[in-house]
Amino acid sequence: QVQVVESGGGVVQPGRSLRLSCATSGFTFDRYAMHWVRQSPGKGLEGVATISHDGNDKYYAESVKGRFTISRDNSKDTLYLQMNTLRDEDTAVYYCAKGTGADFWGQGTLVTVSS
Amino acid sequence: DIVMTQTPLSSPVTLGQPASISCRSSQSLVHSDGNTYLSWLQQRPGQPPRLLIYKISDRFSGVPDRFSGSGAGTDFTLKISRVEAEDVAVYYCMQSTQFPLTFGGGTKVEIK
């Protein structure tokens, strides 16, 4: 069955960096676009970044453009999110979601930006 | 980015009664391939979101048929024909016609 498992979250100071990973299994990873979506505590959902199946096309929310980088390793069935120059407002649970229509979601990993 | 607007914010419903949620997009969600990539997600307390409906009205695998979607262009609706206790959740509309994904603000369905 399809599985997506996020990791790499934690507590980090403002201005520092963090790299999230999303390990997948149960589907042919290199055939699907993938997304990172975040949810601040008690708030709604925000699409952070999307990457095409082959990694050639990447899209970012304005709020993270220039600071975050989405990437993938199709040989490892893994999605990444490199987050630089983190701000307080980046505090959220970060979810990885499969496919153009986000049909499977992981449990998420919590990123807390705090001094 | 496409802005998604959902109403109402909250929907108190009696068990066994219907519920309806509306979603409007700031521009047409019709893709160049002719499809309209409007989905509905359910998020129960403490859980990640789960896909219910995709391409306006197609139910995802395992979704009960009391959930239905309709609409076209920029106006869409999710209906629950008879609300059950397990339907208590926040519901989001989502567009994937353009990237990154954008979401409505959410509608909380609760039991009266």
pLDDT in tens, B6-26: 999 999 999 999 999 999 999
In this predicted structure, the answer to whether residue B29 has a pLDDT above a threshold of 90 is yes
Which residues of chain A have a CB within 8 Å of the CB of B41?
A: 45, 102
Place of tokens 């391939």: B33
pLDDT recorded at residue A8: 98
Q: Is the dihedral of CA A93, A107, A5, A60 positive or negative?
A: negative
- Residues whose CB falls within 8 Å of the CB of residue A88, separated by 6 or more in sequence, listed in order: A14, A113, A114
Contact A45 B100 (CB under 8 A): no
- Residues whose CB falls within 8 Å of the CB of residue B3, separated by 6 or more in sequence, listed in order: B25, B26, B102
pLDDT recorded at residue B110: 96
Mark the ranges of chain A whose per-residue pLDDT is less than 70: none
- Cα dist from B77 to A46, A60, B25, B73, whole Å: 21, 27, 12, 12
Q: Could you give the percent of chain B with pLDDT greater than 70?
A: 100
Instruction: Please list the residues that pair with B22 across neighbouring strands.
Output: B7, B77
Query: How many CB atoms are closer than 10 A to CB A55?
Result: 16
Which residues of chain B have a CB within 8 Å of the CB of A61?
A: 1, 100
Burial of A35 (0-12, 13-18, 19+ CB in 10 A): buried
Burial code (b: 16+ CB inside 10 Å, e: under 16) for B15-48 equals: eeeebebbbbbeeebeeeeeebbbbbbbbeeeeb
- Tell whether B45 is within 8 A of chain A (Cβ): no
Instruction: Please list the residues that pair with B30 across neighbouring strands.
Output: B36
Mean pLDDT score of chain B, rounded to an integer? 97
CA distance B78 to B20: 6
Query: How many CB atoms are closer than 10 A to CB B112?
Result: 9
Which residues of chain A have a CB within 8 Å of the CB of B101?
A: 35, 37, 47, 50, 97, 102
pLDDT recorded at residue B1: 87
